[in-house]
Homo-oligomer: A and B are copies of this chain.
Amino acid sequence: MTNIKLTIEYDGSNYCGWQVQPNGLSVQQVIEEAIFNLTGVKTRINGAGRTDSGVHADGQTATFNTESGIPPESFSKALNHQLPTDISIVHSCKVDKDFHARYSSIGKHYKYVILNREIRSPLMENRAYKVGKKLDIEEMKRAAINFQGTYDFKGFMASGSQVADTTRTVIEIFVVSIEDTIEISVKGTGFLYNMVRIVAGTLLECGLGKLQSNDIPGIILSGKREAAGPTLPAHGLYLVEVIY
């Protein structure tokens, strides 16, 4: 039995998310079917991050066990022949038998992309969240720094989530802008459900002048979902890398 790790890029636009669901096609299901077509064995894969419908990935990861004689490095190209053009296995390799895509990871890197212009962009369609009003990017940069560190991020979690410990560590967060695109880059040891999209929504409020950068520590401390900004739409979010 060989434990294989896949690194996966996808455009999430046409999927109900990563995880297999009774209704709707998931990225996981499509990859599992490709593995079945290749090896003839029904195989469950374990993904590192359960990305929502519309969320994209540059570097999602997943692990699975196989008795197939296919060389571990060859799974990438062999599976890509089976997969649609919006999913690609960018790398495959053998890992230790106790390595698990999700539980072995020590962190994740996400980015949230905002297109700051009034008119919609065909080349960024489904790839960025469009905001028409000119944003104060410097204020967003100042606000972002406040998220760095270990805090109880209870207020930055989708309401209704059941998690005992809501303390998380944001290792690094910054805002960069290139022409009319603004990227919020966030690395953390782990994230609560919708946390990156709520952090992005809170930074957006700072960019819009509805919140001040120095409001952020108090918002985090309050632990109240309604103190933070809105959950921005899924299609601006990318799982850039799973850190091991």
Contact = CB atoms under 8 A, between A and B. Distances in A.
A117 B6 CA distance: 17
Interface in A53-104: 56, 58, 76-77, 80, 85-91
A11 B76 contact: no
Q: Do most interface residues of chain A lie in helix, strand or loop, or is the interface mixed?
A: mixed
Contact of A88 (B87, B90, B121, B127): B121
Contact of A9 (B80, B90, B122): B122
A122 B86 contact: yes
A10 interface: yes
Contacts of A88: 119-122
Contacts of A91: 119
B125 A85 contact: yes
A122 B88 CA distance: 6
A9 B76 contact: no
Interface in A120-159: 120-123, 125, 127
A11 B125 contact: yes
Q: Which one of A9, A80, A123 has the highest number of Cβ atoms from chain B below 10 Å of its Cβ?
A: A123
Nearest to A119: B90
Contacts of A85: 120, 122, 125
Contacts of A121: 9, 88, 90
B11 A119 contact: no
Interface centre among A89, A119, A125 (most CB of B within 10 A): A119
Q: Counting chain B CB atoms within 10 Å of each CB, which of A56, A76, A86, A122 scores highest?
A: A122
Nearest to A238: B123
A86 B127 CA distance: 13
Nearest to A92: B119
Interface string A104-122: 0000000000000101111
A122 B126 CA distance: 13
Interface of A: 9-11, 56, 58, 76-77, 80, 85-91, 117, 119-123, 125, 127
Given A9-B121, A77-B119, A91-B119, 10 more contacts: A9-B123, A11-B122, A76-B119, A85-B120, A88-B120, A88-B122, A90-B117, A90-B119, A90-B121, A123-B127
